[in-house]
Amino acid sequence: MGLLYAIGFIAALALALIMTPLVKTFAFKIGAIDKPNHRKVHTRIMPRLGGLAIYAAFVGAFFAVSPFIPEGLLRPRDVNMINALLVGGTIIIILGALDDRFELSAKVKLLGQIAAACVVVFGFDVHIDLVNVPFGETMQPIAEWIGIPLTIIWIVGVTNAINLIDGLDGLAAGVSGISIATIAVMASLMGFQPVILLSTLLLGGIIGFLVFNFHPAKIFMGDSGSLFLGFSLATLSMLGFKQVTIVSFVTPLLIIGVPLSDTFFAIVRRWVNKKPIFAPDKGHLHHRLQDLGFSHRRTVLIIWGVSAVFGVLAIVQSAVVQSSAANWITFGVICMTIFFLQIGAELIGIVDKSHRPLITLLSRIRLRLLKTGEATRGK
Annotated binding site for Mg(2+): 163, 223
Task: Return the top range by mean pLDDT from 127-136, 171-180, 284-293, 331-340.
Answer: 171-180
Residue 164: what pLDDT? 80
User: Global pTM?
Assistant: 0.84
Distances (CA, A) of 137 to 246, 248, 319, 328: 11, 13, 17, 13
Closest CA to 51 of 27, 72, 79, 68: 27
DSSP line for 277-291:
TT---S-SHHHHHHH
Residue 321: what pLDDT? 58
Residue 229: what pLDDT? 95
> Sorting pLDDT into bands at 50, 70 and 90, what band is 133?
very low
Q: What is the pLDDT of residues 41-97, one digit of tens each?
A: 556 789 999 999 999 999 999 999 999 888 777 788 788 888 999 999 999 999 999
Q: What is the pLDDT of residues 321-363, one digit of tens each?
A: 555 555 666 667 777 777 877 788 777 777 777 777 788 888 8
Q: Calculate the dihedral angle through the C-alpha atoms of 178, 180, 184, 185, rounding to the nearest 10 degrees.
A: 30
CB atoms within 10 A of CB 185: 18
pLDDT at 274 over 90: no
Least confident of 148-157, 227-236, 337-346: 337-346
Q: Looking at per-residue confidence, does 142 or 4 come out higher? A: 4
Report which residue type is found at 4: L
Residue 142: what pLDDT? 65
Closest CA to 181 of 299, 5, 34, 308: 308
User: What is the average pLDDT across 100-104?
Assistant: 92
Q: Looking at per-residue confidence, does 286 or 12 come out higher? A: 12
Annotated binding site: 163, 223
Q: What is the pLDDT of residues 182-228, one digit of tens each?
A: 888 888 887 888 889 999 999 999 999 999 999 889 999 999 999 99
Q: How far apart are CA 244 and CA 356, in angstroms?
A: 37
pLDDT at 241 over 70: no
Distances (CA, A) of 206 to 25, 191, 223, 355: 19, 23, 15, 38
Q: What share of the chain has pLDDT > 70, as a percent?
A: 85
Across the chain, mean pLDDT equals 83
pLDDT at 124 over 70: yes
Residue 202: what pLDDT? 96
User: What is the average pLDDT across 231-240?
Assistant: 81
Host H or E run for residue 131: strand 130-131
Q: What is the pLDDT of residues 8-22, one digit of tens each?
A: 999 999 999 999 999
pLDDT at 313 over 90: no
Q: How far apart are CA 83 and CA 196, in angstroms?
A: 15
Least confident of 115-119, 229-233, 286-290: 286-290
pLDDT at 134 over 50: no
Q: What share of the chain has pLDDT > 90, as a percent?
A: 38
Residue 342: what pLDDT? 79
Residue 113: what pLDDT? 96
Tell the burial category of 81 from Cβ atoms under 10 Å away from its Cβ (0-12, 13-18, 19+).
buried
Task: Return the top range by mean pLDDT from 200-209, 310-319, 346-355, 366-375.
Answer: 200-209
